[in-house]
Amino acid sequence: MTYSFLFMKASGDQLRELTPLIDAGTIHPVVDTAFPFESTRDALEQAEKGHAKAGKVVVKIA
């Protein structure tokens, strides 16, 4: 079995390129679970334990 890692950095250029694709429905972000801000600790625990299999764990600010 082999593993590879992908390290990313924030890039305004990449985000500007992705935004129209998301808006047009060309690509779809996959969210496993969305937590309210008050449950940030639960969200972090879920992500750390690897329970988010279907997508990303999201913390809602607003």
Structure tokens at 62: 């607003």
DSSP letter at 4 equals -
pLDDT category at 15 given cuts 50, 70, 90 is confident
Domain boundaries, the chain: 29-62
Task: Please say if the pLDDT value at position 1 is more than 80.
Answer: no
Q: Vertex 7, ends 4 and 27: CA angle to 5°?
A: 95
Q: What's the pLDDT score for residue 56?
A: 83
Encode pLDDT of 19-29 as tens digits.
899 899 998 88
CB atoms within 10 A of CB 52: 17
Distant-in-sequence, close-in-space partners of 27: CB < 8 Å, separation ≥ 6:
18, 21
